Amino acid sequence: MKHILRKIVARKYHLVPRLERAVVKYSSSQVVSGPFEGMWYVPASVGSSYMPKLLGTYEIELHDIVDEIIAKKPDVIFNIGAAEGYYSIGLARSLPSTRVVAWETTENGRALSRTLAKLNGVETNKLQSHGLCTVSALKRRLEEYTQKESIFLIVDIEGGEALLLDPEIIPRLSQTEMLIEIHECFIPGVQQILVDRFSTTHSILEIKARWRSPADWPKKLAICNKGVWNGSKAALMNEHRPSGMSWLYHRTL
């Protein structure tokens, strides 16, 4: 019966779109919760789900780590695979004295990132933006900074992490803290490769992706609190990740 009713009732009256419209209206284009709460946001995302970013539940598994990065106040943050700038602009906004270097292969992503920077008052001299990040480019950029300057590396490149992150080719990586999204679905065994490469220089924490539940819904967003909305809340926070996704957090020893 529910399936039949869904076909009869116009899509705009389904619960998920109704909830989405309510969130957009409530947020006024600002991130609702999480480490980047209050950040003005662009109306689209690149290569990932949009609504979790606006809700602030995006990669909720990493919120404590993002808070830790902010507390460490690194001198430089490299964000490889920056998309529209959720992390690069979010961290630049949170860390006024930290320089941010971002790489994103898509022109759309770079354009949205420039808009996001303007919306949040991030000065152009604080943020550098580039296209494809090659091994030679990463090696050269890391070597521009002294050993006393702390660098944090965030990597999300759809399976290219094993090709890019090799301390035998880029020695500075052995002294660099990193947060790496792992794509076993594209490159089987990539996680173990990265663990083996950095096991003597870093303590490595694995963080596994998990399904969202109504309990993850932002506390301050009190709209639609009746239980009938719970499934829609979970659906709106869904990031549509392949099963078994995870991240590795590399802290230097």
Instruction: With a cut of 60, say whether residue 252 has pLDDT above it.
Output: yes
Average pLDDT value for the chain? 93
Q: Which residues are paired to 208 by β-bridges?
A: 246
Q: What is the pTM of this model?
A: 0.92
Q: Is the pLDDT assigned to residue 210 strictly greater than 80?
A: yes
List the beta strands (DSSP E) in 93-201: 99-103, 127-130, 151-155, 177-182
Q: With 80 as the cut, is the pLDDT of residue 98 above it?
A: yes
Question: How confident is the model over 114-154, as pLDDT tens digits?
Answer: 999 999 999 878 899 999 999 999 999 999 999 999 999 99
Which residues fall within 8 angstroms of residue 61, CB to CB, at 6 or more apart? 207, 208, 209, 210, 247
Q: Across the beta sheet with 151-155, what order do the strands follow?
A: 127-130, 99-103, 76-80, 151-155, 177-182, 246-252, 202-208
- 226 has a pLDDT exceeding 80: no
Q: Which pair of tokens denotes residue 149? A: 């300057």
In tens, the pLDDT along 170-182 reads: 999 999 999 999 9
**pLDDT tens digits along 56-66:** 999 999 999 99
Q: Is the pLDDT of residue 12 over 50?
A: no
User: For residues 231, 235, 241 and 246, what is the CA-based torsion angle, rounded to 10 degrees?
Assistant: -60
Superfamily of structural domain 2-252: Vaccinia Virus protein VP39 (3.40.50.150)
The per-residue pLDDT for 223 is: 77
Q: Looking at residue 3, what is its pLDDT?
A: 59
Residue with tokens 């009190």: 222
